[in-house]
Chain A
């Protein structure tokens, strides 16, 4: 089965209020469980915020470090799910079901070299 990476982007401002966190957490747990029960789950991680990021470039043999993410954006990469799905329609369905899809956005990328 083809593999898809569901990249979870969240807005730098906005999103759920702190008092909604418990409810949000329960929804993520359920999503994770549903994916596993459907037999499509491969891997998942959440990432520390862009504040913790360091960007590395090697130019002319020299390593340059920048404190922070590669680019300032309104949305940042907050985590990913790697799933298996029979086709794009199924992958898109699971992207829409991701709890953050209603306030962030989910980029669906097929793993390279499957075509």
Chain B
């Protein structure tokens, strides 16, 4: 609950160099790694989290008094371990209390010998990877995976996560408590799965990270600032995964995809906060740094020669950002990439996108040919993007009556105000 975040400095006037700012910085940079290691030492999510919170609370007082330590991360690590020892001594109900206390005392003694101080480096990396896989375990419901990943590996408070997902802080706090209780009660293991289980589980981890990103990128409602932070957190997790699993092409593919989308985030809204579609965005507002990093990451992913859906989507995003003007977009290659993507993971979403790309490259009739089998599929009768794309292509071949019918159908399926306004605008244009 919010009491756990009590150490966090008030958002308002904080001197950037003061102890409060140092705590904030250390929290964002080190929280995940410190927590991950302590969870391994303690075998207990909740106890570790409480101890780390205790340590950050103590830091604010101690650093104001004695000054900021040379290595704030190490200070937090040692203090969190001591806080865990304190808590174990107090809470007699905890199982294996004696064994855990002995293990912590051993680690604490070791830490004091300077020659052991640097040894932790290699293990810290492993711990954060373990933590990601535990937080994204498929035995937890998707909202719980998302919340837990953000809370334990990210730098957001429970309140911030709650605001980003438009739920009350109490609801989010309960979701987190329930997830941690299930990890403990059901015995969800704290480890990176091995062998045959790894690819499937990694896919699950990547989908959690991408969901966090999209939650921020969607920006249809809610606090835009907090949602922007979600994109930043997802990219941070993507970078962490790419550093921890450098040999995995799809991990890099996902990072590249997020960076290339994020580069366009600000340009997607005009001065009045209205959505601006890709072809009408002011390209000078795209973030060049993000684009450079995204393209570099994509190159590194493709050099591993194991293509996958995230890399293909990133390649499509790359073709969009590489075009100096919308008219110069290489639609033929984009259509080819959608074809490859559809073969890897068939879906009507991809087929509609392929039809639109093909129409741009080879004319509206080519696009309509791709749509034809989808329009015959009764399961897609209520799939709005299909009918919006159909309408647009019918308009382009000059079938105004058919286009009007398809726009009406698409309008009847949309609940989104931005989409509705855009469809109504196009429908009105037909009559002119």
Contacts and interface: CB of A to CB of B under 8 A. Distances in A.
Contacts of B139: 88, 92
A88 B186 CA distance: 6
A114 interface: yes
A115 interface: yes
B185 A89 contact: no
Contact of A87 (B95, B181, B185, B188): B188
13 contacts: A2-B187, A4-B187, A85-B187, A86-B187, A88-B187, A88-B189, A89-B197, A91-B187, A92-B139, A110-B186, A112-B185, A115-B181, A115-B184
Contacts of B189: 86-89
A33 B72 CA distance: 55
Contacts of A92: 139
A81 B187 CA distance: 18
Interface size class of A (residues with CB under 8 A): 10 to 19
Interface size class of B (residues with CB under 8 A): 10 to 19
Given A88-B139, A89-B193, A92-B139, A114 B185 contact: yes
A57 B184 CA distance: 33
Nearest to A91: B187
Contacts of B181: 115
A44 to B, nearest CB: 20
Contacts of B187: 2, 4, 85-88, 91, 110, 114-115
Contacts of B137: 88
Given A88-B139, A92-B139, A115 B188 contact: no
Interface string A81-107: 000011111011000000000000000
Contacts of A4: 187
Nearest to B185: A115
B340 to A, nearest CB: 32
Contacts of A91: 187
Interface string A20-54: 00000000000000000000000000000000000
A112 B185 CA distance: 7
A108 B139 CA distance: 10
Contacts of A86: 187, 189
B160 to A, nearest CB: 29
A40 to B, nearest CB: 13
Contacts of A112: 185
B184 A88 contact: no
A11 B193 CA distance: 32
A108 B186 CA distance: 9
Contacts of A85: 187
A2 B181 CA distance: 15
A87 to B, nearest CB: 4
Interface in B188-206: 188-189, 193, 197
B381 to A, nearest CB: 28
A91 B188 CA distance: 10
A86 B189 CA distance: 9
Interface string B317-355: 000000000000000000000000000000000000000
Given A88-B139, A92-B139, A110 B193 contact: no
Nearest to B189: A87
Most chain A beta carbons < 10 A, residue from B95, B185, B187, B188:
B187
A33 to B, nearest CB: 23
A85 B187 CA distance: 9
A69 to B, nearest CB: 26
Interface string B16-33: 000000000000000000
A108 B189 CA distance: 15
Contacts of A114: 185, 187
A11 to B, nearest CB: 23
Contacts of B197: 89
Interface in A48-65: none
Interface in B169-194: 181, 184-189, 193
Nearest to B137: A88
A114 B95 CA distance: 9
A92 B197 CA distance: 12
